[in-house]
Amino acid sequence: MIKKETVLDVADNSGAKKVLCIGISGSKKTASIGDVITVSVKKCVPVGKVSAGSVHRAVVVRVKKRSTSSIVVFGDNAVVLLNKQNEMIGTRVFGPTDSLLRRNKGFAKISSLSQEVFQ
pLDDT at 111: 87
Does the structure show a pLDDT above 90 at 50? yes
pLDDT at 70: 62
CATH class, 7-118 region: mainly beta
Task: Please write the tens of the pLDDT for every residue from 5-40.
Answer: 999 999 999 999 999 999 998 889 999 888 999 999
Does the structure show a pLDDT above 90 at 65? no
pLDDT at 1: 85
**Please, which residues bridge with residue 2 across strands?**
31
Strands 78-82 and 96-98: unpaired
* Structural domain boundaries in the chain: 7-118
Task: Please write the tens of the pLDDT for every residue from 68-117.
Answer: 666 667 889 999 999 999 899 999 999 998 888 887 677 888 888 988 88
Contacts of 11 (CB under 8 A, 6+ apart): 61, 62, 78, 79, 80, 93, 94, 95, 97, 114
Strand, coil or helix: 111: helix
